[in-house]
Chain A
């Protein structure tokens, strides 16, 4: 690698990005990252890889995807956990998570979406309309999913601007819903066959299942070390690992996270931590946090607490369960994938008791002092389900703080006071 900075501008121009707006975006994210991440003390060395990936977030990784596509392959963009990455990879395509974690071009967005739409939806629409998400522009197909009403309707509007396929996710988890979802996954296979011109084989599918499971296993290793006191890695760095998992090259990422896991496992053995032993341990549960949304983690961890687990789509829901690798036939493998994905406990399901069980089990195993429930304003499913989460937490004698917020920074002062008071109370 040479030391001279690579000029990615021709590539961004070719992708149709608005260079001026894109510069403004990168100019904002860089300092945000420096404040939130580089200011941390005692980070594991393995997080250096994440610093590198972040510094090249719209650079090197996009170049890789660009080269991949120019070699005749396809890239698929997603917003949500329910799109099976294994199926995409088994067709020789790559999956990338799309930008949805910052306020951008809201003035444009509010011309087509109501102001009281959740930050995540407004954000992805803003990145599209503002022409600043190279991942979106590298995506030959965006696969959406009918999780909540807001996303469902926003995908119709996005479909006017981009090639979009929407998977219908059932809202319950009965046998007939499982059958329905298995059929949706098979429809996706036809869609991807048509897009890539490749037919998935048992061999490519088995290999994709193994690769994606290995990624989850690596993340699980890091997650499990966070049971230790002192905790060997900050919640912020652990969150970042999951966020990057959505768009990085799979085998390389897995290798890097396994290296990090070796290091943090050693830290646990040596009693080394990023916060003092006895620091208040917080479980965060709720809506997903996309890059660069580090707001809650930053507030908690600069207030003396540590986040030891995330029960969210950018957390345990991404990696806690594996796809069955032992299916004997292609059909069994596909059903195994469908069933694993339907087993994710998002608040868009009714009822969603599995999430309550996950939260309680995690609170116990990760020795949690308090739970922080995070929802985005105007996200009905999580805001309403917070009531049930609060109830089960209180019944179990675990203090809980409910926070409704968005991607803006205007409430950071009030949130800091609430979080600090919560930590003082624990």
Chain B
């Protein structure tokens, strides 16, 4: 993402693939810039390559979300590999945060694996969950164990829609626990790839009894925050 005087002039989403160095090199050479800030898992690779400043995605999401929604009290980011909950302090600073440990429980990856176990695409999984009138409880949050649990339910002839709803409910329940532990207030900015999932939005806002603030471009909140943090 390219910023000029705090305004986004250009942004792109690219997969860094198996050769992040060349992707990064090509990416930054696309537009003129005075400074670069890197965030995300590959931030240190970018720092070695470009000698640039780095910030963690926690700080970047906090800064980006507070910029987009100045009244926000907290940020929830559910991505492919991890889930972050950030309680915001003044000026988009981080008051407290929580991130999942070393497994994919409650992340986008969990929903992806479950969709495939049910023979759904991700969109179909969300739609089926919204259509079902009640969820069937999936007790395991471990992606591996939950997959066998889901397979077992399918074999017992349980309706796929109800399983889909139960899976979303279990992610919401886990997320809710994380929000409570962090002391995250409302309103909440919901970002990351899973913020595109309509079933998650509906179930989560019902549980929290609060409307969620969803950025137009949920995947670039971190890049925006990183770029903004250069001026800090």
Interface residues of A (CB under 8 A from B): 399, 404-405, 410-411, 413-414, 417-418, 420-421, 424-425
Contact = CB atoms under 8 A, between A and B. Distances in A.
B102 A424 contact: no
A411 B99 CA distance: 12
28 contacts: A399-B96, A405-B101, A411-B101, A411-B102, A413-B41, A414-B82, A414-B101, A417-B58, A417-B99, A418-B58, A418-B99, A421-B57, A421-B58, A421-B59, A421-B94, A421-B97, A424-B55, A424-B56, A424-B58, A424-B59, A424-B94, A425-B58, A425-B59, A425-B93, A425-B94, A425-B95, A425-B96, A425-B97
Contacts of B59: 421, 424-425
Interface of B: 41, 55-59, 82, 93-97, 99-102
Contacts, number: 40
B58 A414 contact: no
A404 B97 CA distance: 15
Contact of A404 (B56, B57, B96, B101): B101
Report whether over half of chain A's contact residues are helix, strand or loop; otherwise say mixed.
helix
A404 B98 CA distance: 13
Contact of B102 (A414, A420, A421, A425): A414
B181 to A, nearest CB: 10
B55 A414 contact: no
A417 B56 contact: yes
A421 B56 contact: yes
Contacts of B41: 413, 417
Contacts of A414: 82, 99-102
Nearest to B94: A425
A410 B101 CA distance: 11
A420 B56 contact: yes
Contacts of A404: 101
Given A421-B58, A425-B94, 7 more contacts: A405-B102, A410-B102, A411-B101, A413-B41, A414-B82, A421-B99, A424-B55
A178 B79 CA distance: 53
Which one of B56, B57, B97 has the greatest number of beta carbons of chain A within 10 Å? B56
Contacts of B95: 425
A414 B56 CA distance: 11
Contacts of B100: 414
